[in-house]
Chain A
Amino acid sequence: MTDDQGKHAHQMQNAPEPEEAGQDERAEREMEALRARLGGEPAAASSESLERRLQRVEALLRNAPMLAPSPDFAARVMAAVAAMTFPHMLNRRLSLSLMLGMALVAALTLPVLGYGVASLFDALSDPGALNSLMALGVSALGLAWGLAAEFSSSVQTLIHETPMVPALLTTSIPLAMLVGWLVWYLLDGPRWLMQRLAA
């Protein structure tokens, strides 16, 4: 007998005697209800087996219905999916990339820095090496300057000889870029890009 059953039996024993017939009937009805709930027969009221109670639990669980959400639930979920902004997803990717990048930089910094400092000290301690290094730097700068001057003169010659070519290029390139962007936008390019980045 469980504690609750014991308490109940105790209450039943100590219950005041009903004085009127109506009360008798009511008490009897309640006893019947109790018996019905706990297994039917009077003797079974306090000795319902564990197995039987487990079966009742199983039956209750197996017959419980599946519940459905509000009719607009799916629409709300899809609105929330659409609102999962590009930055939100990009941030996750960026933060991961940033973390890996920083780890890589941290791992490479020390050896590269050490090698650089050692090379610098080596060059400074040898006047011949320092001189050749400076000569190399000056010749590299001269070469770059010469290339830039040559390119500039070529462009000037082209503009002089065929003025229509640069005029066409300066208008057609931005126009082509604008049209390309418009097509990409109309074909849902931003969403596609977001999905690709998210994946």
Chain B
Amino acid sequence: MNQEPDSLWVEQTLAGDQDAFGNLVLRYERDVFNLTYRMLNNRGEAEDAAQEAFLRAYANLDRYDPARPFKTWLLSIASNHCIDRIRRRRLTWLSLEEPLPPHPALTSDVPGPEESALDHERSEEVQALLDELSPEYRIAVVLRYWYDLSYAEIAEMLNTTESAVKSRLFRARQALASRLESRSMSTLNPAMEGS
């Protein structure tokens, strides 16, 4: 893909060129999808959410501030949408009094060729750990570790303060460390009990 700046494609889109927006989709589809997948932990739902994020960006492109990076703006739309989805999902479960959903590994779709990385043990382990965090903590971790965003950028995207972001990240790391340890123990315990 060529190295045109995002702002040019945004301007062209606003002038009525849909193909320019197509270039933005191609440039950021991976970033947006990775974020929605890390948040929702279901491939189909993640693609739906990513598509919705792009559509919202397109419909509200006139509100985009060119002084900000387009990627950050797009990711903030995707983040907020994912958090909304998780909240709605939780409400649905509570209202229907359904049991907890099965493990993501059981609900994910048939893996495509690009999912070889997903099948990697480390990726699964990370995803399972992430899934145990609350959405607010999870999004902070995802934005920090996958997108290398600064505390200030994350705070702006999540409409909160830098200190709140630092606090969330610290607590999230602690929680993840604790989960990691308990997972390590639980993988050995059944073997111990069986011996």
A interface residues (Cβ-Cβ under 8 A, vs B): 2, 4-5, 7-8, 11-12, 15, 18, 23, 26-27, 30, 33-34, 37-38, 48, 50, 53-54, 56-58, 60-71, 73-74, 76-78, 80-82, 84, 89, 191-192, 195-196, 198-199
Contacts and interface: CB of A to CB of B under 8 A. Distances in A.
A73 B47 contact: yes
Contacts, number: 156
A8 B193 CA distance: 10
- Provide the main secondary structure of the chain A interface: helix
Contacts of A4: 181-182, 185-186
Interface in B144-195: 145-146, 173-174, 176-178, 180-182, 184-189, 191-193, 195
B21 interface: yes
Interface residues of B, number: 58
Given A2-B178, A64-B126, A78-B18, 12 more contacts: A26-B195, A37-B187, A64-B127, A64-B146, A67-B38, A67-B117, A69-B47, A78-B21, A84-B58, A191-B16, A195-B16, A199-B62
Contact of A198 (B22, B38, B59, B112): B59
A77 B34 contact: no
A57 B176 contact: yes
Interface of B: 14-16, 18, 21-22, 25-26, 29-31, 33-34, 37-38, 46-47, 50-51, 54-55, 58-59, 61-62, 112, 114-115, 117-118, 120, 122-123, 125-127, 129, 141, 145-146, 173-174, 176-178, 180-182, 184-189, 191-193, 195
B72 to A, nearest CB: 16
Contact of B30 (A63, A68, A199): A68
Contacts of B55: 77, 80-81, 84
B189 A8 contact: yes
Residue of B54, B177, B191 ringed by the most chain A CB atoms within 10 A: B177
A54 B174 contact: yes
A15 B129 CA distance: 29
Contact of A5 (B29, B58, B61, B185): B185
Contacts of B29: 68-69, 73-74, 77
Contact of A195 (B15, B37, B127, B182): B15
17 contacts: A2-B182, A4-B181, A37-B187, A48-B181, A53-B177, A56-B180, A58-B173, A60-B129, A61-B146, A67-B123, A68-B29, A68-B114, A73-B51, A84-B59, A195-B14, A195-B15, A196-B16
B20 to A, nearest CB: 11
A7 B15 CA distance: 65
Contacts of A63: 122
A54 B30 CA distance: 28
A24 B14 CA distance: 72
B37 A50 contact: no
A7 B182 CA distance: 11
A81 B22 CA distance: 9
Contacts of A60: 122, 125-126, 129, 180
Contacts of A78: 18, 21-22, 25
A54 B173 contact: yes
